[in-house]
Amino acid sequence: MTIMIFLFILLSIIMLILITILNLSSKKTFYDREKNSPFECGFDPKNLARLPFSLQFFLIAVIFVIFDVELTLLLPTILIMKISNILNFSLTLNLFILILLLGLFHEQNQGSINWAK
């Protein structure tokens, strides 16, 4: 136990030394207005570089990514079905699909999936 405390203290000291050395030796950059502005052939920009985006589109994209990951979790179940007990497999798969459907109904009730907004 004492050797673990000693190693923890030693590693903490090494990390602090490395962080200090890196902060002292890193190149300092000073930002000004010209460097932070978008480049348009030397002229002042006519439009804002950061256009506002639809929050509805962002929510749809996040929901798509979540359900896409869940789909990748469902695909290996075909192979697992061969080596698993059918009762355990069906209970687990039904519970997983029930959780997915509850999430879908929740998103529908919140209005995140409504395209007409």
The pLDDT of residue 14? 95
The number of helix segments (H) and strand segments (E) in the chain equals 5, 0
Which range of residues forms the domain containing residue 95? Answer: 55-110
Residue 100 falls inside a structural domain: yes
Tell me, yes or no, whether 61 lies in a domain: yes
pTM for the model stands at 0.46
Domain-located, residue 117:
no
Q: How far is CA 33 from CA 14, 30, 41, 49, 50, in A?
A: 38, 10, 16, 14, 16
Residue 105 within a domain:
yes
Is residue 29 in some structural domain? no
Triad 110, 116, 117: Cα angle to 5°: 65
In a domain, 84, yes or no: yes
- Look at the chain and report how many structural domains it folds into: 1
DSSP-assigned letter for residue 84: S
* Full pLDDT tens readout for the chain, 117 residues: 789 899 999 999 999 999 999 888 876 655 656 666 666 566 665 666 666 777 778 878 888 888 888 888 888 888 888 888 888 888 988 998 899 889 888 888 887 777 665
